[in-house]
């Protein structure tokens, strides 16, 4: 496989570059993507699509508070309306099913389903029951994330993830949800991307709640992982038939130069992005190199915490987007050195499918107990426009093609990967970037809420149809 992604992009056939479906994605006959039990789906998250933030007893979340602060989110956007999915869920499920997608990964808004005293909110719970029941009726495999960043504000007011008690509150929430929704969920993920919650939320302040202190980040991470560990046995007890796991974002770090200092910097980048989360989960300890990068930031860990955190998982969800090129910062850490002349997306992220394959194959060596993997997010943003009823998102088609090929290569190298979810089903509230960055395979016109199926979604649908026909 070529390492230079832009070269691959340039070799796309004119038909695909022109956005037609004349040259559909036909993986080689021996590709694992043809396996009927390789799940292909799409993902979303509550705050990014639901809107209806003040309806049916939903309480404020940290993202309502954060996005209301001028300057925190591009153009002052908030999730108040988003894709209005709370009201349009039926049509959205029909759309998902019409594309032939086999899996749907969604998240539950914690502030919608229980109040500050832990009393269940029936209206909020009913929304998720209706949604999940309909997905089951359509034969769609359901992956439910309990925490995709919308912490109830009342918990943040008591310290949020810096307060150990939040982990116990999370276990109570997991208990309620798994009692209420048992039987409609195929796989539970406790947390989405604890790295983002801990580092962007408490370490550099780019995300809610907007605090910036490395020591906060490591303590928040510990409480997030503890929350996960406390929730897993609760989920197992209440809903034994489902799978239980967690979703981690992973980043590939490389250095241009062979110097020991720069190679060390690339290693530290991956420690900070990957091992910080995966080591506690899979080895039961924090990587000591992390504290070389951030001296004096060891979190307070109580007896038994690491055993709780490292209990076996049924699956590990992996979210992958890009590679970061770094060099030594001359002290203990790394600094970004953006590569020139590489293909990038609307986010400025480099398109680097090899990173996904290389990380997965490396994890298989590092972690002897690596659980079965689902790619729970992968995708890209582009400045998509609707022209004559069509959206020609050709870069996305190419992106997906190459990343699915990377997944196939990792499977062939022995990694147990069972499925892949596109990020995202539809354009949505992209956190600090608001609505400007479009990650969907379905376009959303936010002034009318009209959904337009992009070429990429048609392409995926066509492949799924073909796979079904061959089965
Ligand atoms: C991930 C998030 C997801 C989305 C994508 C682009 O970090 O889990 O909600 O914003 O990035």
Work out which ligand 1 atom sits closest to the CA atom of 347: 6
* Per-residue buried b or exposed e for 348-385, using 16+ beta carbons within 10 Å of the residue's own CB: eebbbbbbbbbbbeebbeebeebbebbbbbbbbbbebe
pLDDT for residue 28: 85
Say if CB 201 and CB 216 are below 8 A apart: no
- Judge whether 195 is annotated as a binding position: no
- Judge whether 325 is annotated as a binding position: no
- Judge whether 48 is annotated as a binding position: yes
Give, as one character, the DSSP assignment of residue 390: B
In 3-state terms, what secondary structure has residue 24?
Answer: coil
- Residue 443 CA to ligand 1 center (angstroms) comes to 17
Known catalytic residues?
A: 193, 377
With a 6 Å cutoff on the Cβ, whether 428 touches ligand 1 is no
Number of residues that this document lists for the chain: 471
Q: What average pLDDT does the segment 59-81 reach?
A: 98
Say if CB 410 and CB 417 are below 8 A apart: yes
With a 6 Å cutoff on the Cβ, whether 196 touches ligand 1 is yes
Mutate to test the pocket of ligand 1, among 196, 201, 319, 425 (most ligand atoms within 8 A of CB): 319
Range of the domain at 186: 5-470
CA torsion sign for 412, 400, 269, 271 is negative
How many independent structural domains does the chain possess?
1
Domain of 240: which CATH number?
Answer: 3.20.20.80
The β-bridge partners of 258 are none
Work out which ligand 1 atom sits closest to the CA atom of 430: 10
pLDDT for residue 24: 55
Average pLDDT, the chain: 94
With a 6 Å cutoff on the Cβ, whether 439 touches ligand 1 is yes
Q: What average pLDDT does the segment 321-348 reach?
A: 97
With a 6 Å cutoff on the Cβ, whether 431 touches ligand 1 is yes
With a 6 Å cutoff on the Cβ, whether 143 touches ligand 1 is no
- Measured CA distances, 40 to 122, 155, 369, 417 (Å): 32, 35, 25, 12
Enumerate residues 6+ apart whose C-beta is below 8 A from 182: 238, 239, 241, 242
pLDDT for residue 4: 34
Proportion of the chain in helix, strand, coil states, percent, rounded to 5:
45, 15, 40
Query: CA-to-CA distance for 102 and 330, rounded, in angstroms?
Result: 49
pLDDT band at 26 (very low <50, low <70, confident <90, very high): confident
- Residue 222 CA to ligand 1 center (angstroms) comes to 21
Query: CA-to-CA distance for 260 and 282, rounded, in angstroms?
Result: 28
pLDDT band at 23 (very low <50, low <70, confident <90, very high): low
H-helix or E-strand spanning residue 336: strand 334-336
Question: For the segment 432-470, what is each residue's pLDDT rounded down to a tens digit?
Answer: 999 999 999 999 999 999 999 999 999 999 999 999 999
Say if CB 379 and CB 439 are below 8 A apart: yes
- Judge whether 431 is annotated as a binding position: yes
Question: For the segment 398-428, what is each residue's pLDDT rounded down to a tens digit?
Answer: 999 999 999 999 999 999 999 999 999 999 9
- Residue 32 CA to ligand 1 center (angstroms) comes to 26
- Residue 229 CA to ligand 1 center (angstroms) comes to 22
With a 6 Å cutoff on the Cβ, whether 380 touches ligand 1 is no
With a 6 Å cutoff on the Cβ, whether 193 touches ligand 1 is yes
Beta strands in 118-182 (DSSP E): 141-147
Query: CA-to-CA distance for 15 and 76, rounded, in angstroms?
Result: 39
- Judge whether 267 is annotated as a binding position: no
Mutate to test the pocket of ligand 1, among 322, 347, 430, 432 (most ligand atoms within 8 A of CB): 430
pLDDT band at 81 (very low <50, low <70, confident <90, very high): very high
């Amino acid at each position: 496989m070529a390492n230079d992604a832009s070269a691959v992009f340039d070799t796309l056939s004119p038909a695909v570059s022109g956005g037609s479906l004349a040259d559909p994605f036909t993986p080689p006959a021996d590709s694992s993507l043809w396996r009927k039990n390789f799940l292909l789906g799409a993902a979303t998250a509550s705050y990014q699509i639901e809107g209806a933030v003040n309806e049916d007893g939903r309480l404020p979340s940290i993202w309502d508070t954060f996005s209301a602060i001028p300057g925190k989110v591009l153009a002052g956007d908030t999730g108040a309306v988003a894709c209005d999915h709370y009201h349009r869920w039926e049509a959205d499920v029909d759309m998902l099913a019409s594309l032939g997608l086999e899996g749907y990964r969604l998240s539950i808004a914690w502030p919608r389903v229980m109040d500050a005293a832990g009393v269940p909110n029936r209206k909020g719970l009913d929304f998720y029951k209706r949604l999940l029941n309909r997905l089951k009726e359509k034969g769609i495999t359901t992956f439910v994330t309990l925490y995709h960043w919308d912490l109830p504000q009342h918990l943040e007011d008591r310290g949020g993830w810096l307060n150990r008690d939040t982990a116990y509150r999370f276990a109570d929430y997991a208990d309620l949800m798994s009692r209420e929704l048992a039987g409609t969920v195929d796989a539970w993920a406790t947390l989405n991307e604890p790295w983002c919650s801990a580092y962007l939320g408490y370490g550099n302040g780019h995300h809610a709640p907007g605090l910036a202190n490395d020591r906060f980040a490591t303590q928040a991470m510990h409480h997030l992982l503890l929350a996960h560990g406390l929730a897993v046995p609760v989920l197992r007890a209440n809903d034994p038939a489902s799978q239980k796991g967690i979703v981690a974002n992973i980043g590939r770090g490389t250095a241009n130069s062979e110097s020991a200092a720069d190679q060390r910097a690339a290693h530290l980048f991956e420690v900070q992005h990957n091992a910080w989360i995966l080591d506690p989960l899979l080895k039961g300890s924090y990587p000591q190199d992390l504290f070389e990068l951030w001296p004096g930031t060891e979190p307070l860990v109580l007896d038994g915490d690491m055993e709780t955190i490292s209990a076996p998982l049924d699956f590990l969800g992996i979210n992958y987007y890009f590679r970061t090129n770094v060099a030594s910062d001359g002290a203990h850490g790394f600094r970004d050195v953006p590569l020139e002349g590489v293909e990038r997306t609307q986010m400025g992220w480099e398109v680097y499918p090899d990173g996904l394959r290389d990380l997965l194959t490396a994890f298989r060596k590092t972690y002897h107990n690596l659980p079965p993997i689902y790619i729970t997010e992968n995708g890209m943003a582009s400045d998509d426009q609707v022209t004559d009823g069509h959206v020609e998102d050709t870069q996305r088609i190419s992106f997906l093609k190459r990343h699915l090929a990377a997944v196939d290569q990792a499977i062939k190298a022995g990694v147990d990967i069972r499925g892949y979810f596109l990020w995202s089903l539809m354009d949505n509230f992209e956190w600090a970037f608001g609505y400007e960055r479009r990650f969907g395979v379905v376009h959303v016109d936010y002034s009318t809420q009209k959904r337009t199926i992009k070429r990429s979604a048609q392409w995926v649908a066509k492949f799924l149809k073909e796979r079904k026909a061959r089965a």
